[in-house]
Amino acid sequence: MSSSPRRIVYPGTFDPITNGHLDVVERALQLFDEVVLAIAADSTKKPLFDLEQRKSLAEAALANFKGKVRVTTFRGLLIDYVHSEKSNAILRGLRAVSDFEFEFQMALMNRKLSDTIETIFLMPRDTYTYLSSTIIKEIARLGGDVSAFVPPAVEAALKKKFHEVKP
């Protein structure tokens, strides 16, 4: 049996990280020794927060998991990054059936690119299944209360981004 830690890579844009993401990380730590939260620099999405802001917010949100969760950024193919982390597993969260088709296609393509890497799907608690970063950003933009959906640092960053008093 190998003495190296069982490590899983949890990729995404995390724009911003939500309580649903944190719940998936918690669940993954029941199965793996370490979670590498890997924030994608290359994305077709247009993020609200830049890469360093997303990393900083994720680090603040995951501070309680010190030593078990590492926040990083990456560019290029996810498969190459997973290999560089000496992992053989990718973590993906599934909120609803609608997520499954896209995630399934990605998992199959990743398997085609590297058959040594497995994709693990975990569902968040039912109280988080409706959460998405897009919905959170829209609520915050319209002045709604997002405190139940995101960590405090993210809530503050969203307020600052959308409701800064302009002179």
Cβ 78 vs Cβ 36: under 8 Å: no
* 75 is a catalytic site residue: no
pLDDT confidence tier of residue 61, bands split at 50, 70 and 90: very high
Q: Among the options 6, 45, 159, 163, which is catalytic?
A: 45
* Per-residue pLDDT tens over the stretch 103-133: 899 999 999 999 999 999 999 898 888 888 9
Q: Which residues contact 73 (CB under 8 A, 6 or more apart)?
A: 38, 39, 40, 41, 51, 55
* Per-residue pLDDT tens over the stretch 8-23: 999 999 999 999 999 9
Q: Coil, strand, or helix at residue 58? A: helix
* 163 is a catalytic site residue: no
Cβ 137 vs Cβ 48: under 8 Å: yes
- Give the pLDDT of residue 1: 47
* 125 is a catalytic site residue: no
Domain 7-162 falls under CATH 1.10.3720.10: no
| Helix locations, 17-132, DSSP H | 19-28, 51-61, 78-84, 97-113
Q: How is the chain split into domains, by residue range?
A: 7-162
* Per-residue pLDDT tens over the stretch 136-158: 999 999 999 999 999 999 999 99
Q: Report helix angle 152-163 to 51-61, nearest 10.
A: 150
Q: Among the options 7, 68, 83, 95, which is catalytic?
A: 95
**Does position 5 have pLDDT exceeding 80, yes or no?**
no
Per-chain mean pLDDT for the chain: 92
* 43 is a catalytic site residue: no
Q: Among the options 27, 87, 92, 133, which is catalytic?
A: 133
Cβ 150 vs Cβ 19: under 8 Å: yes
